[in-house]
Structure 1
Amino acid sequence: MDLDTLRSLRLRAQGLRAPIDASAPEVVRRFVAVQAQEFLPSQWGLAMRVPEDRRPDAAAVATAIDAGHILRTHVLRPTWHYVHPADARWLMELSSERVHRQNGLYYRRTGVEGDVAARGLDVLAETLTGGHRTRAELASALETAGTPFTGLAFTYLLMLAELERVAISGANVGRQRTYAAFDERVPPSPPRPRDEALAELAARFVASRGPATDRDFAAWSGFTLTDARRALADAAHLGGGGRLETVDVDGTPHHFDAASDRSMTDAPGPVVDLLQAYDEYIMGYAAPRDYLFPPGRSLSTVPEFPMHAVVSDGVLAGRWAPVVDERRATVKLAPWRTFSRAEERSFAASVADLERFLGVPVTVDRIAG
C-alpha cells in the first residue's frame, strides 16, 4: 500500500470522507476518545464528521455537552478528551493508573498527595452533590473548608478528582465550564479485565483511525508499546477472530479493520479540510507523521501546529486560525503554496461549512505562510 492509499483509507475511517455518524455524540462513541484541548475548535472537529444534511452547529454540540451526551475529561493521557458516557467509566478505570504515574512529579511539586489530597477530594465530592459547580465555586468551597488549593495545585487536584471518578464535566454556565459528580453523568458498569478493555480499545482505535501501526496506538493511548502490541493481537480475535488484518506500508505493518469499507469512491478533485490543530487525523498517529507532509516539509518545520491545519487530500497545505466573536468571525489563512482553482473552490466550501457551524459571517484574511 502506498501513502496516497493510506491517506484515503484514513480519511474515510476518520469520517472526513463519506461520514457515517448521525450526531456529534455518535462521533465520540465511535472514536472512543477524541482529543479536546481547545473547546470550540474541538467541537468543530466533531461536527465536520457528521453528514452535511445532519451536521450540527456550535450551539447543538454545546447542548449535547451540557446534557452530558458528550463528556470532557482527562483520560488516557494527561490531556483533555471527549468521551461518551457509556465509555467514560471503563476508560478511566483502564488508564487512570498510568495517568497518575505521568502526573506524579507534579502531584509532589504542588502538594497534591497524601492526606491533603484526600481532604481536597472529600470537599469536592461533597460540593458536587449539590449540583454542577464552576472552578471558582469549587475553589471557594475548598478555601471555606480550610483546604485551599490555588494555581497549579488546584488544577492537579481537579485532574486527580477526574481520575478518581469523583468529578467530570458538567453543563456550562454562560461561558464558564463546570464540573459535575462523576456518578451523576456516568452510568454504572461492572469492572472489566484489563486485557479485555485494552483489546476493545485497540479494536475501536483501528476501526476509527486505521490503517495504523502499533506505535500509533501506543502514542495515542498512552500505553507502552508492549501493551499496545498485546492489545492489537488480542483485538484481532475479538468476537471469535478475524477482527483485524495487516497491510504493509513502505515496509511497516499497519493494522486494518477487516469490516471496513475499502472501496475508493471519493469525490474527484482535491478536497481541502480545515482541521483543528489537535484533530484525530493529526494526533491519532505517532510522530513523525510522514503521511501529513508534502515534499520539503516535516514535523521539525511545524513542531507544535501553533495554528490549525489546512489539509488538501490528506496532506498539509498551510495553516489557519479562527478569530471569533458574537457577530462575526475571521479565518486567518497562511497557505504554504498557491492553491489550484479546484482547491480554492473546496476551500471556499469548507469556509462556508465553518460559517454554518459558527452561525456568524466568516471572512478570510490571507497572511504569509
Structure 2
Amino acid sequence: MYLYNLYGLIIMTYQEISHHRLVSQKLYKSTQCSPQEIVRHLGAMQAQDYAMAKWAIGSRCDSSEKTIEEAINSAKIIRTHILRPTWHFVASDDIYWMLDLSAPQVKRFTTSAAKKYGYDDKKLDQANAKIEKLLYGNIHLTRDEIMQELNIKKTSSDDFLSAAIMMNAELDGLVCNGKMKGKQITYALLEERVVKPKTKLTKEEALAKLTKRYFESHGPATLLDFSWWSGFSATSCKLAINAIELQLNSVEIENQKYWFGNNSSTADNFRESVHFLPAFDEILISYKTREASILLEHQSKAFTNNGIFKPIILENGKVIGTWKRTIKKDYTKVETNFFNETESHKKAILFEGIKAFENYLETKIVIE
C-alpha cells in the first residue's frame, strides 16, 4: 500500500521505487503477455544488440526465443530506428504515429552524418527511390545487398554512409526490418509489412500518448528520465506531462518529482526476486539517473560512460552483479561476476533466476 504524508502526498523510498519499476516494467510476470504486448506496453525497447534485445522481451513473458523471433519476422514487432538514433523494438500498432512524432528530431543526426559523405537531401531522396524499387513486391534484402545495388562499396568509411542511408529510409517510413535471412538482418518496405492507418495524431496528441505510455510502463520516473528516453527536450516533456497530469500519480524524493501511472496496483506487495537481464535492458537504460537500481560505486561495472551496458543480475530490484553468456553446440555457458563476495549457498539461490533464461533458449544452461 502507498503511504501518505499530512498533505496527502504519496511517500516513497528509492527501494520502493525500484520495486514499483519491477511491476511497471512487467518483470514480475503477474499476467500472461505475448511478446508484442510486452513491446506495446513499454512503448519502445532499445534493441541494437539483437540477441539480447529479444531476451529483454523474453524476460518479461514466458515466450521462447523462437516465438519472439516469429513475432519479429511476421512484423507484429518492428525493429527500426526511432526515438533516438539507435535501434528499438516497437509494436506494429505504434510504428506510424511514433515515427511521425520522433523522426524529425532523429533525422537531424542522419542527415548530418550523410552530408559528411556527400549525400544531401536530394541524394538521400534518390537513394530512397532506388531502395523502394529494389524492395517492391515483398522483397527482403540485407543492407550489403542493397548497397551493392546502389553502387556503394563495402569499406569502413562507406559503412557509416550505408548506415545513414538506411536509417534515413527507416525514419522516412519507407523501410523497416524484414525477415531474418539466417543470422543476417534484412530490410523490407514498411507499408508492405504494416498497413498504414487512415488517421494521424497531431504532434501534441502523439507526445501526450508517448508520455502516458512511458510513465505507466517505466514509472516512477522523472521529467529528465522521460526526456532522455524519448529524445525530446525537457521543455517539451514538461508541457506533455502538464497536459496529462491528472492521468498520473507523483511522489517527491529529495526535491525530485517522480511520475507513475494511475493504474499502478497497490496490491503488488514486495516479494523476493532475482532476474538475469540482458545488456541495454530498459530497467537501467531508460532512466537518466539510475541510483534507484544500482549503487553509484557499482555503476562503472555495469555500464560505461560511452553508453555500453552489460547484462546485469538484479536481486529485489537492485543490481548486484553482471553476467555473460556463450552459446555452445549443446548448451549455453553463463559466467557471473558479483560486485560483493557471495557465499556458495547464496549463489545457489541466485542461480534459480537463470531458469527463465534456460526456458527461453530451450537449451541447457551451465554456470561457471
TM-score, with normalisation over the residues of structure 2?
A: 0.89
Q: Structure 1 residues 290, 233: CA separation in 2 closer, same or farther (over 3 Å shift)?
A: same
- Answer yes or no: is 1:28 the counterpart of 2:39: yes
**1:239 paired residue number:** none
Superposed displacement of residue 258, structure 1: 1.0
Provide the C-alpha distance between the structure 1 equivalents of 2:51 and 2:344, rounded to a whole number of angstroms: 30
Pair 1:248-2:252 in alignment: yes
SS of the residue corresponding to residue 323 of structure 1 reads strand
Matches within 5 A, 1:80-95: 80-95=87-102
Q: Deviations over 1:238-260 (max 9, x none)?
A: xxxx3112111232111121111
Q: From the superposition, tell whether residues 294 and 102 of structure 1 become closer, same or farther in structure 2 (CA, over 3 Å).
A: same
Partner of 2:363: 360
Q: Distance between the aligned counterparts of 1:224 and 1:59, measured in 2?
A: 38
In the TM superposition, residue 361 of structure 1 has moved relative to its aligned partner by: 1.6
What is the identity, as a one-letter code, of the residue corresponding to 1:92?
L
The AA in structure 2 aligned to 1:139 is M
Change (3 A) 1:263 1:25: same
- Is the CA contact 2:23–2:268 (under 8 Å) kept in the aligned structure 1? no
How do 1:1-369 and structure 2 match up within 5 A? 1-50=12-61, 55-130=62-137, 131-143=139-151, 150-189=158-197, 190-236=199-245, 242-267=246-271, 269=272, 271-287=273-289, 289-294=290-295, 296-299=297-300, 302-303=303-304, 304-305=307-308, 307-339=310-342, 343-365=346-368
Whole-angstrom CA distance in 1 between matches of 2:202 and 2:329? 48
CA contact (8 A) 2:279 2:311 kept: yes
Q: CA deviation at 1:179?
A: 0.7
- In the alignment, is the contact (CA less than 8 A) between 1:28 and 1:83 conserved in 2? yes
CA distance in 2, matches of 1:129, 1:361: 42
Secondary structure, aligned partner of 1:153: helix
Q: Counterparts of 1:143 and 1:160 in 2: how far apart (Å)?
A: 18
Q: Which has the higher contact order (CA 8 A, sep 6+)?
A: 2
Report if the CA contact (8 A) 2:64-2:359 is conserved: yes
Letter of the 2:320 counterpart: A
8 Å CA contact 1:36, 1:80 repeated in 2: yes
Shift of 1:292: 2.1
Give the 3-state SS of the residue equivalent to 2:148 in structure 1: helix
SS at match of 2:252: strand
CA displacement at 1:360 relative to structure 2: 2.0
For 1:56, give the aligned amino acid. S
Structure 1 unpaired stretches of 5+ = 237-241
The whole-number CA distance in structure 2 between the counterparts of 1:343 and 1:221 is 38
Q: Deviations over 1:177-199 (max 9, x none)?
A: 11110111222122211011000
Q: What is the count of residue pairs matched by the alignment? A: 349
Cα distance in 2 between the residues matched to 1:284 and 1:142? 36
Larger mean CA deviation between 202-211 and 95-104 belongs to 95-104
| 5+ residue gaps, structure 2 | 1-11
Verify the 8 A CA contact 1:8 1:314 in the aligned structure 2.
Answer: yes
For residues 300 and 361 of structure 1, the distance between their equivalents in structure 2, rounded to whole angstroms, comes to 27
RMSD over aligned Cα atoms: 2.0
**Aligned residues of 1:9 and 1:262 also touching (Cα < 8 A):** no
AA partner of residue 10 (structure 1): R
Q: Distance in 2 between the 1:127 and 1:258 partners? A: 47
Judge conservation of contact 1:111–1:153 (CA < 8 Å) in 2: no
Tell whether the 8 Å contact from 1:21 to 1:49 is kept in structure 2 after alignment: no
Structure 2 counterpart SS, 1:110 = coil
Paired-residue identity, %: 26
With the length of structure 1 as denominator, give the TM-score of the two structures. 0.89
